[in-house]
Structure 1
Amino acid sequence: MLTADLIQTRVYKGEVRPRYVDPADPERLALAGQLIDLFKAHVGAPRHALEEELQALLGTGTAFLFHRALAKLLRDRCRFETRSPVPPEELRRAVFSRAAACYQAPEDDSGRRFRLARDAILAAAAEDLELTPQQVEQGLYADLKDEQVLEEFRPCTPRWLLDRYNVALAQGVLYRAVALTVEVGGQSAARYRALFRKIKFFQLMHRVERLDDGYRIHLDGPLSVLKASGRYGLQMASFLPTLLHFDGWRLEAELRWTRARRKRVFRLKAEEGLHPHNRLTGVWQPEELRWLPERFAELGSAWNVSTDAELVDLGGEGVLVPDFVFAHPNGVKVLMEVFGFWNRGAVRSRLQLLRRHGPKNLILALSKRLAAAEDDLDELPGEIYVFRTTPLPRQVLKRLEAFL
């Protein structure tokens, strides 16, 4: 991800347009290759050594924004660690204790009390810790950011880095979105299922309309969420690379641009050629839900739980992508949808849709912080489960038994 100061855009007739680069440009490819080689060469070196080398390349003016943006993306591919045989705080404690003892030593023959011999103190501390003086000196402040060592750098090609830069520009723009509308069509059922699962994985507040050849998805933007805008903005931006795996889509976002929060619009479509930097695989659920199937199985009930659910059409007004499907040996099947990172308005709208078109075999799990008034929960199909932080397997089982 790029920070706001590294996002280069222009505004034309109210539309924000990122300044994408040509990923085949020889000069930009050469710069990207030079930066990648620099990071590779500093694996095993302290962070300050890498930053000193980068400073000569990156400059400080606006003419070097592109350079600094590439470096930021490469830093995101780094893993820095504190390298010390003993935790640095223990080293400091040993050295400072020895220094204090030296200060408290009795006067010598010349009447001097304070004798601070650095090498002797390091040697004494090293002996206490069964280390060498060199190890003590090197590890003394190894936990400072500049002293941390580049343990791992995930290399990439120059072309990949330039493609990643273009996507990062679009992600940075979406961070300022109030609302986002995506239209996607011409996909298989499996592809639609993958798309909606990813939307739920990133916990994006959404509403779905059925179109003749696909869906229109309305996503609430990070600036529509008050307390959680920072986290939600990252979730929204992280979703964009998933969308890039599909074709036949277009996106329009309503923005609040600059500190003046002026109304602007951002448009993007599949034909513009942005390339995803990840694969359309992996987990489909947030971490707080991922453990539920395993814990549920430990209860030893007759129910089997699965995350492989089909899309359920909600009267052409939306779609239900259950988080879990519970199956009983007698043939009863129950769907479960979890509302986690939603605002109250979105929850109320969703409840109204489920009241009209929701399946009867549904458990609706709703976070307590989002729970609407009791009247909002009346006449809903299936079972309602209001949880505090995360759904509990035993409480889920209790509601499943109501379907037998």
Structure 2
Amino acid sequence: MLPSPLLRARSWKGRMIILFARGKPIEIELARVLIDTYQKHVGKKLGELSSSLDEIEEYYESLGVDYRLVRGLSILLERRCKFSKPETLIQPRRARKTVFELCNAKLGGFTTSQEERNSILNKAAWDLGISREELEESLWADLEENLNLIDFDEIEEERLLKLYNQSLLQTALFKALSLILRTRAPGRELKRVLREIKFRKLMYQAEKEDGFLILRIDGPASIMKMTTRYGTSLAKLIPSIIPLSHWEIEASVVRRSEGREKRVLRLLLGSKERDLFPRNERILDRYDSQIERNFSKMVSALDWKVEREPEALLAGKALFFPDFKLEKGPLSVYVEVVGFWTSNYLQKKLKKISDVEERLILIVDKNLACSSFQKLPHPVFYYEGRIDFGSFARFLSRIEESSKKMVDKEIMERLVKVKLEDCVDIRKLAKEIDVTKDQLLNVLKQGIFKGYVVAGDVMIKEELLDRVRRIVETSGTKFFSEISKLMSNAGFREEFHLPLIQAAGYKLVWRSLDLSDAVIE
């Protein structure tokens, strides 16, 4: 974060527009010059560094660069420095006390000539048992300008500009009344944000809208009145928000106009601008137990897509973070694996789980089970020691069966939007509408498409079958390879030759492992 006077922003139609550093050549050049200046002044006094920085600011200001950018970058670089006080034979405060007392006693408090000054300093040095030069080095050694720059943690200019942008955004939020975060990020990413909200003693209300999770963040006193007292705490959330895979923030920020009147401006920003900010380490999937790791492998083998720590679910106005999300076509199920929970934590967790409206199943260790699980509005699968593959497969099958009407309805709605060809590869169609082949076949076999028949993994227009029969009957051969050539000449794609022949009432007889020997009967 930066001092408020260094905020670079303007207002436009009730909005606050932050003037970020966008990597222009002159900005990169300025960053490089400042970095080099700090590096060259290692081993020198801060006063010398400050003089050089003043010259740089004056030069770049003459080129049209905002002085606030120069100072903002300088502040960030100064935070990467280590300074030390000069070593002196006596404490600077003691040296000054001795000199001032002598000056008061002999000259009434001040000197009027160089001769008088020399006399006082020589006498003070004698009284302190040090040389005149050592006394002068000690007198003002504790002033900031006399600090020694002993180390500088160098940084690349592009990263410096991105850190500056992050600090600028935080500075803009100093006077924020509240912050709204919209995100589609998975739960494993969002947990860090919630930890920061709790650590900063802020509050949030959660809701969902159009696929977004919305967090309205403010502080306790905001319930009573509009206040900017939580602005700094809101600003400190930014480093945890920027790494999210998707985010949009909206803040109401109090800003004084040139006439010193207060105005409330809207600040809008999103992850589309992520390249302006520093990259953070990606949050990797991790498992809290071997049970969870084995569960993930097992469910994947059952033709379900498995997502570890998916998006957060609403539990009233709070958030619940399930362990997994299972998907099979239109059907999605959230899973919470109940391992070791203390009784107090368990009761709080069960209360939150009971408020979750999405389809949720609980995987519960029998040894930890209690009657409270039976009162939950969600199905429970009990295990002992390990999760039995067969038992859980049957459990999921019952979930699928109970959801069949919903799944079929969703598939039919998706099929309405698809333009069907005369021959349809069911596997490809299933992939196109994002369902499993078995789910799609189950719907197609209900005969929802009049004039089509299903043959294996292909759906075929019935009127094509008479053409296929004529080709077979007039071919003068029974060999599949020769009939296949005739079908290609008639415009049928090779991948559909065998399904078409079978749908027309013929069968393929293999006489060897060579397809060219196969015949049609």
Aligned match of 1:209? 207
Aligned match of 1:315? 315
Alignment of 1:147-158 (within 5 A): 147-158=146-157
Alignment of 1:147-186 (within 5 A): 147-186=146-185
1:87 aligns with 2:91: yes
Deviation of 1:184 after TM superposition, in Å, equals: 1.9
CA distance in 2, matches of 1:223, 1:255: 17
Q: Rate the CA distance shift 1:119–1:280 in 2: closer, same or farther, 3 A.
A: farther
Counterpart amino acid of residue 344 in structure 2: V
Alignment of 1:296-375 (within 5 A): 315-319=315-319, 332-335=342-345
1:3 aligns with 2:13: no
8 Å contact 2:4–2:171 — kept in the other structure? yes
Q: Rate the CA distance shift 1:11–1:223 in 2: closer, same or farther, 3 A.
A: farther
Aligned match of 1:293? none
1:83-122 superposed Cα distances (whole Å, 9 cap, x missing partner): 3434321222344456567679xxxxxxxxx996145224
Deviation of 1:34 after TM superposition, in Å, equals: 0.6
1:34 aligns with 2:33: yes
Aligned match of 2:510? none
8 Å contact 2:177–2:227 — kept in the other structure? no
Aligned match of 1:77? 80
8 Å contact 1:9–1:17 — kept in the other structure? yes
Alignment of 1:385-400 (within 5 A): none
Deviation of 1:357 after TM superposition, in Å, equals: 5.0
8 Å contact 1:183–1:214 — kept in the other structure? yes
Aligned match of 1:272? 273
Deviation of 1:200 after TM superposition, in Å, equals: 1.8
1:302-327 superposed Cα distances (whole Å, 9 cap, x missing partner): xxxxxxxxx99773321379xxxxxx
| 2:11 counterpart SS class | strand
The structure with more radius of gyration: 2
8 Å contact 2:92–2:139 — kept in the other structure? yes
Q: Rate the CA distance shift 1:358–1:39 in 2: closer, same or farther, 3 A.
A: same
Partner of residue 233 from structure 1, selected from 231, 234, 249 = 231
CA distance in 2, matches of 1:96, 1:125: 13
Counterpart amino acid of residue 120 in structure 1: N
| 1:334 counterpart SS class | helix
8 Å contact 2:122–2:132 — kept in the other structure? no
Q: Rate the CA distance shift 1:100–1:6 in 2: closer, same or farther, 3 A.
A: closer
Q: Rate the CA distance shift 1:320–1:79 in 2: closer, same or farther, 3 A.
A: farther
1:252 aligns with 2:274: no
| 2:236 counterpart SS class | helix
Deviation of 1:209 after TM superposition, in Å, equals: 3.0
CA distance in 2, matches of 1:88, 1:280: 50
8 Å contact 1:48–1:147 — kept in the other structure? yes
Deviation of 1:163 after TM superposition, in Å, equals: 1.1
| 2:21 counterpart SS class | coil
* CA RMSD between the two structures: 4.0
Q: Which has the higher contact order (CA 8 A, sep 6+)?
A: 1
Aligned match of 1:66? 69
| 1:319 counterpart SS class | strand
| 2:22 counterpart SS class | coil
CA distance in 2, matches of 1:240, 1:164: 12
CA distance in 1, matches of 2:225, 2:153: 35
| 2:48 counterpart SS class | helix
| 1:175 counterpart SS class | helix
Deviation of 1:196 after TM superposition, in Å, equals: 0.9
Aligned match of 2:437? none
CA distance in 2, matches of 1:67, 1:103: 46
Partner of residue 197 from structure 2, selected from 193, 196, 199 = 199
Aligned match of 1:287? none
Aligned match of 2:122? 120
1:6-35 superposed Cα distances (whole Å, 9 cap, x missing partner): 222232222211122222x22221111111
Deviation of 1:267 after TM superposition, in Å, equals: 0.5
| 2:51 counterpart SS class | helix
1:333-371 superposed Cα distances (whole Å, 9 cap, x missing partner): 4349xxxxxxxxxxxxxxxxx9x95699xxxxxxxxxxx
8 Å contact 1:78–1:152 — kept in the other structure? yes
Q: Rate the CA distance shift 1:101–1:262 in 2: closer, same or farther, 3 A.
A: closer
Aligned match of 1:14? 14
8 Å contact 1:99–1:121 — kept in the other structure? no
8 Å contact 1:84–1:138 — kept in the other structure? no
Q: Rate the CA distance shift 1:185–1:83 in 2: closer, same or farther, 3 A.
A: same
CA distance in 1, matches of 2:219, 2:281: 24
Counterpart amino acid of residue 171 in structure 2: G
Counterpart amino acid of residue 92 in structure 1: R
Deviation of 1:235 after TM superposition, in Å, equals: 2.4
Counterpart amino acid of residue 272 in structure 1: E
Alignment of 1:136-147 (within 5 A): 136-147=135-146
Gaps of 5+ in 2: 109-115, 284-310, 322-339, 355-521
1:104-146 superposed Cα distances (whole Å, 9 cap, x missing partner): 9xxxxxxxxx99614522431441xxx5543332121222233
8 Å contact 2:45–2:147 — kept in the other structure? yes
| 2:95 counterpart SS class | helix
Q: Rate the CA distance shift 1:210–1:318 in 2: closer, same or farther, 3 A.
A: farther
CA distance in 2, matches of 1:226, 1:118: 62
Aligned residues: 291
- Which range moved further: 161-170 or 70-79? 70-79
Deviation of 1:202 after TM superposition, in Å, equals: 2.8
Deviation of 1:159 after TM superposition, in Å, equals: 0.8
Counterpart amino acid of residue 199 in structure 2: F
Q: Rate the CA distance shift 1:64–1:56 in 2: closer, same or farther, 3 A.
A: same
